[in-house]
Amino acid sequence: MTSVVAITLSLPPAKYSPENTSTFTSAKFGASSSFSHRCSPFYPLSFRRLAIQHTDAVVRRRSSSSFRCFSAISPELKTTIDKVVSSHKVILFMKGTRDFPQCGFSNTVVQILKSLNVPFETINILENEFLRQGLKEYSSWPTFPQLYIDGEFFGGCDITIEALKSGELQETVEKAMCS
């Protein structure tokens, strides 16, 4: 039994105000547009400060060739992730898919879950940069894969391996399946 969970999030095209060239703003967050423009170094270098209202993200120009991005997860994205995480007993946000992992760590967690015969869903975070960055803030965990069990963040690859060795993973999964 394989099911596919898809999350599509994106942003409307960006606009800037010619009367104030030091500020860049984007239209209010929308449910289906593109994210990749937010921290692009290809925007005019004359912008000293780029502020994107929909995510409270701020991009500060540190030198003529580098940018630094700061962002907060949007309420819309947080709500979407909450719904996805709470609607599945076990869900893995990973690089690639269950059948074609694109990262050794993601593959390791998939193999562990398969070895336990646990029904689980996967979401490929490589398909959506906005989701990938938002999940890092949502879980306060900077790397992938990210495993959620019974609506709670469980951990990444190293934690999953250690929990398997100690028996904690099996116990947590069994509890989740019974609830």
pLDDT, one tens digit per residue, over 52-79 is: 323 334 333 344 444 455 556 899 999 9
Give the strands of the sheet with 49-52, arranged side by side. 49-52, 57-63, 66-70
Domain residue ranges in the chain: 14-70, 75-178
Structure letter (DSSP) for residue 28: S
CA distance 54 to 40: 16
pLDDT band at residue 46 using 50, 70 and 90 as cut-offs: very low
- Token pair for 137: 């803030």
Sign of the Cα pseudo-torsion (79, 2, 128, 176, in order): positive
Question: Which residues does residue 50 pair with via DSSP β-bridges, in sequence order?
Answer: 59
Which region among 10-19, 38-47, 87-96, 116-125 has the lowest average model confidence (pLDDT)? 38-47
User: pLDDT value at position 179?
Assistant: 85
Q: Could you identify the residue written with the tokens 């398969």?
A: 114
The one-letter amino acid at 83: K
> Which residue has better confidence, 57 or 141?
141
CA-CA-CA-CA dihedral for 155, 108, 142, 126, to nearest 10: -130
User: pLDDT value at position 170?
Assistant: 97
The H or E element containing residue 69 is strand 66-70
For the chain, give the number of residues.
179
> Which residue has better confidence, 89 or 17?
89
CA distance 43 to 111: 42
Q: What is the value of pTM for the model shown?
A: 0.63
Kindly report the average pLDDT of the chain as a whole number: 73
Asked if 166 contacts 153 with a C-beta cutoff of 8 angstroms, the reply is no
In terms of CATH, what superfamily is 75-178? Glutaredoxin (3.40.30.10)
CA distance 106 to 93: 9
Confidence check: pLDDT of 163 > 50: yes
User: pLDDT value at position 153?
Assistant: 97
User: pLDDT value at position 29?
Assistant: 37
How large a percentage of the chain has pLDDT more than 70?
Answer: 60
CA distance 145 to 101: 10
Confidence check: pLDDT of 135 > 70: yes
